[in-house]
Every structure is written in structure tokens, then in C-alpha cells.
A and B are shown apart, each in its own frame.
Chain A
Amino acid sequence: MALVHKLLNGTYILSKCLKPSVASCPFLSTRFADYCSSSLQKPVATPGKASAQRNSAGGLQGDHQREVALDVTSPEEKPEVSFDKAIRDEIKEHFWRLKDEIVNHWIGPEGRPLQEVIMEQARVVWQFRGKEDLDKWIVTSDKTIGGRSEVFLKMGKNNQSALLYGTLSSAAPQDGENSQSGYCAMISRVPRGAFDRKKSYDWSQFNTLYLRVRGDGRPWMVNIREDTDFIQKSNQMYSYFMFTRGGPYWQEVKVTAQIPFSKFFFSNQGRIRDAQFQLLLDKISSIGFTLADKVDGPFFLEIDFIGVFADPAHTEEFAYENSPVLNPRLFK
């Protein structure tokens, strides 16, 4: 199962805190525990490396998967180690999901009745009310390229918001390749269906992104990636700025950032492209927040929820026009 999964998805790396019992976390092959800490900090994902296995099933897996030493101690109980049981659990889980999908298809798109989906004007896409909501996000920083920023994600007070905090350090790694450094990012996981197929979000009836956040005055960047199987498109994303105001207010004056989707500009591999086109909303795969403002120091961002809604007052389709100086081919 793990081998098949690897073939399907290449190196898709996730990290998660190790849960002590196998039965509660059946996704063996999709979860790679780097290390576990007692306070529920999200470990930093390391892309591009081969998978690290849970220690229980590690020794029994195929030999082309590297084992990583884990310093996991669960003093209360030893985890129930059974490779076959884990595989069976996972297969059952996937078939359950498949059955859900087929049944939902009869009810309506995404399992909700068609009338509700058509009429809805505002949808909450991500909310942070429990630990399982945090699992939908990956947190990265420039540690992957050798920098020194740290970033952690945890539930805020009263389990009513998520707090992304850490320290940014723009000291460039001395590896001869990177001249600048210093970024932290929180990216949502790609939604998965049965058998870990990639699913995408369809926001074509909405036109504004709504974020209820509380920050500390730093400028963040919101990135949206489209769902695509083309390799050439895998580095493309649409971004825009999110300026936080700072301050304790959340309730009275909501520091909401309402960003219409027309304002997202297109970039490839981190560079803004000359040929701009509007963000098409029918296949969105993930959204992310990045902080890279070249100022060293601690930061935090508290997020209440992220939603999309259809602003009837916003009629702009796309905010940026192409210029004939940069793109003579478009204007022939």
C-alpha cells in the first residue's frame, strides 16, 4: 500500500506529531513523523527528502524508504505494532471514503444538496476550532534551505483560533546558492479523496477571499495555487498582500482582510511574470500565507477562520493589465 502510494504521488511529504496508538492514525504511508514534541508544535516539513517512516512499521517496509531515528517516548503505553492491521485499517478507511464519495454524488456536489450549494453566498473553508483543523496545514520556513527562521503553529486560546508564531531570521545560509533568506509559510494541505486522489476546491461562484486574522503589523502574502497535473505549472501561484494592522482588536474592529480574487497577480517560481491572467477559481488546490518581509524578529498571526464569499459590489474581473512594452507578443 505504501509502495503504491509512493508511486502515485511521488515524494509528498507531510509531517505530523506521532500519535501513540496505531489505530487512531491509520494513514501510515501518508504520515511521516520527523519528530514529536510534547507540546503540540507543528514540526517543519522538509520537502524533497525521502519519506521517514513511523518506527513501528519502519523496519517492515520496503528497503528503499529510509528510516529516521525517532525519539518518541510514550510512557503510558507501548504502541500496538501490527503492520497487517495498519494496512487493513487503511484499506478500510479508503473504501469508506469511496463509499462516501459515491453516496455524496447522489446527494449533490460535495455531499450537500444542490440547492444549498447554488444559493450560498458565503462559505467557511477553513476554521480553527480543534486540533484536527490544524492538521490541514503544513508549516514551513527557510530551515529547508538552511536558514534560521523558526515557525510553529498551535491552537490559540480557548481553542478558538490558530496561532502561527515564530522568529524570522534573514541571515542567508552560507551555501553559495542562496543570497537571501528569511521566510515562513503556512500552506494548506491538498484535499484528498478516496485512495488519496487529489481533490480541488471549486470557488467559481465566489469572488472574494475573507480572512479574519489578528496580526502584529507585519505584511503577509497570500498565495493560491491551482490544482494541476502539469509539471510546468506546479510552481505557479497567484499572490497578493495581506497587511495586518496589529493590536488586540478582533471582536470590535475585525482586522479582516477581504481580498477580491481579481487582485491576485500571477507568479512563477517566486518571480512575477509579465503575462498576467486572472485567477481562475474552479480548481484551487491550496492556499498559503507567507511572511518574508526582511525584518528579523518574532512574529505571530492569529487566524480565526478563512472563508470565501461573493461580494456583489465587486465587479472587477482582473486588476492588472498587460503592458505592450513587456509583452509585445500579446499585442500583435
Chain B
Amino acid sequence: MRDYGVERDLAVYNLLLDVFPKEVFLPRNVFQKIFIHYPRQQECGLAVLEQMESHGVMPNKETEFLLLQIFGRKSYPMLKFVRMKLWFTRFKNVNPFPVPRDLPTDPVDLATLGLRRIEPDLSAKVTIYQMASSRDSTGTADPTEQHIVGIQSPGQQAALARHSPARPVFVEGPFSLWLRDKCVYYHILRADLEPPEEREVEEIPEEWNLYYPMQLDLKYGRSAWDDYEFDIDEVEEGPVFAICMAGAHDQATLAKWIQGLQETNPALAQIPVIFRLTASTGELLASSSGLEEPCPPPAQEEEEEEDKTQRQQQGQS
């Protein structure tokens, strides 16, 4: 049914069930009721229902009526129908991060959906730096421009503004994100964790807010039975400044993203950006083999090229 694209259409399943002759397979006496009456036909009905289940189609009253007419109330397809009704309703809203059933086909819309899903901060802004176009762009070898969509929240903007230019930021990726059955790839701009010496604690002066104290140092008497912390060191990772999804994973496209980011984050112009692009298995490169990209205007000196490890991952569905 997948060939015709109707695997999630309930009406089609009902029509399929309609093919069965009605009232022929109903058990008539007690002996027929004990043994599975017309077992192969019941298995066939079960197979139709199983396919419905595996595609997540919820059966309706018409299905129930058809199954009653065909197989009877105590048959296996009817039992499976009751189970489907029960468990599907139980698990309908069990996903805390739901993905809509009909995904947008436009890559920019898909990228926006994905980015909104990744970034939990609702005040983050999605910026489309470049729309995909198949027109011939001036000067580049490949004729299609890939779309670049980025997201950054105000907190991240502030953190990037505070970031010292002495330490580089890394563009890492591509990481895969699955939206139901579509895989999109995203890159992140992040910095390494600062060593503890350099971490400065921002002191909020007391006069900043006169209505209530910004810092409270109360020690309520919580003893051991109120301790809900896990006895493990948390994995510390550097801050993430922005995320983007682009059509191509090469450095030129990502450089365009960085350029676009510089408009809202002028501090980014001073900070060296290193590209760490890998064939993603989801892990970040530990070694720093990347190409140091000279950021456009001012003050970036060109360093020697290190070998770029960049392998595209195939199988983007």
C-alpha cells in the first residue's frame, strides 16, 4: 500500500475489509465457536489490522461494524480491534515532544520546525539567511544556493557578546535530527568550557533591584531524607551560541551563516571561528583538526591550513 501512498488512509482499509464476504465466517454453533472458525481468513483479517496498527491508523465504527459482520464478536480480528481501540487511545498523547504528522516539504519550513524543536527557549529568533534557489548565483561553481536557517536566543546573544576574543568558537556538525521519518542536519556554534580559573561570577550589586533581593542565601534545614540530587558529577560542556540548519554541509555555506550571525552579534567579528566538520555519529571531534577560517572584516590573520576532516554523510532521507 505504500506504493500508492494510502497506507494511512482509513477508508482504504475499510474498503479492503469490505472485500471479505459477510456472514459466511460467523460461527453458528457451539463447536464452531470453540475452534477457530475459518482460521486462515481470520489471520488475513488480522494481517490487515496489523498493518493498520503499524502505520498508526485508528480504526473507527465502520471498521467495527464490518468486523462484526464478517467475523463475529468473539473472533480474533474483533479482539484485536478492541485492543487497538484501547491501547491507541492510551498512547495517543504520550510523546512530550510531538512532531506533526504531515511534515512540511519545503526545506526551509522543515528547518524552522526542527530548529524550534531543538531550541527550547521560546524567545529565540529564527533567521533565514538564505533561501534555496536554483538560479545561477554569481561566481560559485554549483548552481544551487542552499538554504541556511539559523536560530539564536537572546541569552545566547548576550553570552556571545561576553565571550572573550582570546578563545575560539567552534562550528561543529553536522548532527542529525529525525523528524518522524525525515532526517535533517544541524550545526552548532559553541565554545569550549572555560577553565575554572577564568570563570568569573557576575556580582549583581544590591542596588540593582530594590524590591526584592536578587541573591538569597537561606539555608533551610534540609537533612538527608530530602536530598534528591544524584551522586554523580554532571557532564559539563561549553555553551552553545547558535544553531543552524543548512542545505549543504560544506564550509562555504557555514561561512555564510557566520557572516549572517555577525550582523546581530558584532562581537563575533573579533572571535576566531574554527570549523570542525565531521561525518557525524553524533559525537564531537576531540582533536582540533579544523580549518581556521578568516572571518570577514577586520583583524583576522590567515593561519596555515590544517587538514580538514570533512566527510559528507550519505543517506539523508
Instruction: Point out residues on A near B: beta carbons under 8 Å.
Output: 119-124, 127, 156-158, 160-161, 163, 165, 167, 180, 210, 212, 216-219, 241, 243, 245-253, 272, 274, 294-302, 304-305, 307, 309, 320, 323, 325-326
CB distance from B228 to the nearest CB of A (A): 5
In the complex, which residues of chain B have a beta carbon less than 8 angstroms from the beta carbon of A217? 97, 99, 117, 177-179
Q: Which of B83, B87, B178, B317 contacts A299 (CB 8 A)?
A: B178
Our pick among B114, B283, B313 for the contact of A163 (Cβ within 8 Å) is B283
* B293: Cβ under 8 A from any A Cβ: no
**Chain A residues whose C-beta falls within 8 Å of the C-beta of B283 in the assembled complex:** 156-157, 163, 165, 300, 302
Question: At the interface, yes or no: B40 with Cβ under 8 Å from chain A?
Answer: no
Docked Cα-Cα span, A121 to B222, in Å, equals 13
* Contact between B282 and A119, CB atoms less than 8 A apart: no
Q: List, in ascending order, chain A residues with CB within 8 A of B176's CB.
A: 216, 298-300
Task: Identify 29 residue pairs between A and B in the complex whose beta-carbon atoms are under 8 Å apart, listed by A's number.
Answer: A119-B227, A120-B227, A121-B228, A122-B231, A123-B231, A127-B232, A157-B284, A158-B286, A180-B54, A217-B97, A217-B177, A219-B95, A241-B95, A243-B94, A246-B117, A246-B118, A248-B188, A248-B243, A249-B118, A253-B120, A272-B87, A274-B83, A294-B54, A298-B176, A298-B183, A298-B315, A300-B176, A309-B230, A326-B82
Of residues 54 through 95 on chain B, the ones whose CB sits less than 8 Å from some CB of chain A are 54, 79, 82-83, 86-87, 90-91, 94-95
> Which residue of chain A has its CB nearest to the CB of B281?
A165
Q: How far is the CA of A243 from the CA of B179 in the complex (A)?
A: 12
The stretch among B13-21, B234-242, B259-267, B303-311 that forms the contact with chain A is B234-242
Set of chain B residues within 8 Å of A299, measured between Cβ atoms: 176, 178
Residues of the B chain whose Cβ atoms lie less than 8 Å from the Cβ of A296: 317
A300 lies within 8 A of B177 (CB): no
Contact of A245 with B190 at beta-carbon distance under 8 Å, contacts A124-B231, A326-B79 already known: no
Partner of A295, one of B117, B175, B178, B186: B178
Q: A210 is contacted by which of B114, B181, B230, B282 (Cβ under 8 Å)?
A: B230
Q: Could you say which residues of chain B place their CB within 8 Å of the CB of A122?
A: 227-231
Q: Please report the total number of B residues contacting A with Cβ < 8 Å.
A: 54
What is the bound-complex CA distance between A249 and B177, given in angstroms? 13
Instruction: Judge whether A218 and B178 touch: CB under 8 Å.
Output: yes
- Determine the chain B residues whose CB is within 8 A of the CB of A305 once the complex forms: 230, 232
Starting from the known contacts A249-B118, A320-B90, 5 additional A-B residue pairs (CB-CB under 8 Å) come to A122-B227, A217-B179, A248-B186, A274-B83, A307-B232
B91 cross-chain contacts in A, Cβ below 8 A = 241
- Given A243-B95, A272-B87, residue A165 in contact with residue B282 (CB < 8 A): yes
Find chain A residues with CB under 8 A from B120 CB.
249, 253
Shortest Cβ distance from B95 into A: residue: A243
CB-contact partner of A119 in B82, B86, B186, B225, under 8 A: B225
Partner of A248, one of B175, B227, B313, B317: B175
Is B226 part of the binding interface, using a Cβ–Cβ cutoff of 8 Å? yes
Docked-complex contact A300 and B282, CB < 8 angstroms: yes
Q: How far is it, in angstroms, between the C-alpha of A157 and the C-alpha of B313 when the chains are bound? A: 20
Tell me, in angstroms, the Cα distance from A325 to B243 when the chains sit together.
51
B240 touches A249 (CB 8 A): yes
CA distance A288 to B123 in the complex (A): 37
Write the chain A residue with the least CB distance to B240.
A248
- B96 close to chain A: CB less than 8 A: yes
Supposing A119-B224, A124-B231 touch, asked if A297 and B315 sit within 8 A by C-beta, the answer is yes
Q: Does B119 count as interface, using CB distance less than 8 angstroms?
A: yes
CB-defined contacts of B226 to chain A, threshold 8 Å? 121
Instruction: Give chain B residues whose Cβ lies under 8 Å from the Cβ of A219.
Output: 95
Residues from chain A with a CB closer than 8 A to the CB of B243 are 247-248
CB contacts (< 8 Å) of A253 on chain B: these are: 120
Chain B residues with CB under 8 Å of A298's CB are 176, 183, 281, 313, 315
Q: What 0/1 pattern do residues 233 to 256 of B give for CB contact below 8 A with A?
A: 011110110010000000000000
- B95/A297 in contact, CB under 8 A: no
